[in-house]
Structure 1
Amino acid sequence: MASPIGSQGSFAITTNSNGSSIHVSIAESASVKADNLSLSTWGASFVLANRLHKIHQDPCHPEATVRNGPRSERWVLELGAGTGLVGLSAAALWRAHVTLTDLPSILPGLQANISLNEGLLKHNGGSARCGSLDWSNPQSLELSSGAESPKRTTKPEVSKPEVILAADIIYSDSHPELVSKTILTWLAPGPQSRAVLCYPLRMAYIDHIREFWELMEGGGLECTQEGREKGDDDWNEVANTPYEWCVWHWKAEK
């Protein structure tokens, strides 16, 4: 659940197996809300952000590394970004261009956190922008260009990300279908593409997670890596609630 930093602080995000880290600055706001939830960082986001340095070391697809290729060809999409901790961490760690998406009411807080981390992203060679993506109609992504600039729209027919990230976005009976449809619409084809998710295994949502897995598999994806991590009491989850992470690729053609 909610973050332990208060209204503003920073999270130490691991960058390599030696335990080095960067600090991602995050501001949270009770006045920025969506679905009756205030803008706050969730435990699954922290868990996923701290696994990002391992994602490019994929034993199932060793050729698949986020760092490959010209930077202009690499972009990452985050769904339900919230405060943006996962996407901002990915931009810094992978030197990638990341588009962080959420509901329109969340974008002011998300843009504020992008601005807070401009120095970090520039130093590490990454960049970030935000926009809104309607999961019920995921055929267009409306990019935010600032209060005085016209909004721009991009579509999956034009460009698709090789990586989609999402943390703690399956918590209602409609989410399995909406999230899986959005991932299947936007994830680029090919063996290097992957969707990476993390969520707490709350008992109330176990059936939703099972349905999500079935829809992903039915859509042509397969989970090639998964694991669980112990929850931290600082995040106010129910005692001993573990976090599950999973990495999905397109099924190989037979």
Structure 2
Amino acid sequence: MTTSDDEEINPVTMLLLDQKDDDVSQPNNNSNIINIAEVVVPTAVEHQSYHLNSITSTLVIRQLPSQGLSFQLWPAATTFVKLLDSYTPSNTDPFSLTVTNAVTSVNCRQRLRILELGSGTGVVGIAASAILGADVTVTDLPHVLPNIEFNADVNKNVVGTRGGGVHVAALSWGKVEEMEGVGREYDMVIGSDVVYHDHLYEPLIQTLKYLLLGDGDGERVFLMAHLRRWKKESGFFKKAKKWFKVDVVHEDGPSGKSRTGVVVYRFARKDAVFR
């Protein structure tokens, strides 16, 4: 069946993590009451557990669904966490080779430095820090940061298993002063489910240009996990390919209610060469 440019491929409810996934536990639902202008507003709090086999530890991530999409777990984030958890330097799949290339490019006196765009709950960045022992800077809009900070703090012992660290920073895509604030001294950039509003396509591309196309940055890549929802998302990739070499490094098949699976893309300078 064909779809129009404005037809949603996956309903908004598909932004939420499929709770039937065998690799993650069911959430524990609690309820907090907050007072706003003398009006009592219930705020649902959900906690999702991710068992990481690679470090024999469990991450616990807080969601606040009533606060908006940035406070929820999205399917592409789960795929990214699973790929990180299954990573070993001996793996030869394209995703693993990309991570290995970043790891081996690091000076022996430094830890891997990762920047996450549009972190949401922070689960991918926190998992990357814990599994890879990396210094990860997780970023999002200012109002999202307190929940990310909460999740980073709750999981600090897990993150420290391999000496990793998580730093939280505000980053509005396309804003030069904020991009310069976080800098571009990173070995790898990551993101999941960041392509969803068409008015953000150009700001995201401008941010990627700043991060990937600077002098001496030929080895840096952006790994992006994405679940297609709108036909018009092809416009983002058309714009991106004008500036970057874009390759698919992993692809899931359709699952659950989704008619499409999560795809992980690698963005790099057009002259980048990968083994």
Q: Flag whether TM exceeds 0.5 (same fold).
A: yes
Cα gap change, 1:125 to 1:39, in 2 (>3 Å): same
Contact 1:80 1:169 survives alignment (8 Å): yes
Of 218, 223, 227, the residue aligned with 2:242 is 218
Please report how far the alpha carbon of residue 138 of structure 1 lies from its aligned counterpart in structure 2 after TM superposition: 4.0
**SS of 1:225 mapped into structure 2:** strand
TM value normalised by structure 1: 0.77
Please report how far the alpha carbon of residue 98 of structure 1 lies from its aligned counterpart in structure 2 after TM superposition: 0.4
Residue 176 of structure 1 aligns with an amino acid whose one-letter code is: Y
Cα gap change, 1:8 to 1:61, in 2 (>3 Å): closer
Which residue is 2:16 aligned to? 2
Contact 1:225 1:248 survives alignment (8 Å): no
Which residue is 2:144 aligned to? 106
Residue 261 of structure 2 aligns with an amino acid whose one-letter code is: P
Aligned-pair Cα RMSD in Å? 2.8
Contact 1:198 1:245 survives alignment (8 Å): yes
Between the aligned partners of 2:225 and 2:99, the Cα distance in structure 1 is 22
* Corresponding position: 1:181 with 2:213: no
Please report how far the alpha carbon of residue 245 of structure 1 lies from its aligned counterpart in structure 2 after TM superposition: 1.1
Of 29, 34, 43, the residue aligned with 2:75 is 43
After TM superposition, the structure 1 = structure 2 runs for residues 165-204 of structure 1, keeping only pairs within 5 Å, are: 165-187=190-212, 189-202=216-229
Contact 1:14 1:50 survives alignment (8 Å): no
- Give per-residue Cα distances to partners, 1:92-141, cap 9 Å, x unaligned: 12111001111111111000000011101112211001111011314425
Contact 2:223 2:267 survives alignment (8 Å): yes
After TM superposition, the structure 1 = structure 2 runs for residues 1-254 of structure 1, keeping only pairs within 5 Å, are: 1-3=15-17, 4=19, 5-6=27-28, 7-13=46-52, 15=54, 22-30=57-65, 33=67, 36-37=68-69, 39-52=71-84, 53-54=86-87, 64-66=101-103, 68-70=106-108, 72=110, 74-141=112-179, 154-156=181-183, 159-187=184-212, 189-202=216-229, 205-208=230-233, 210-219=234-243, 221-233=244-256, 238-252=257-271
TM value normalised by structure 2: 0.72
Matched residue count: 226
Structure 1: stretches of 5+ with no match in the other structure? 142-152
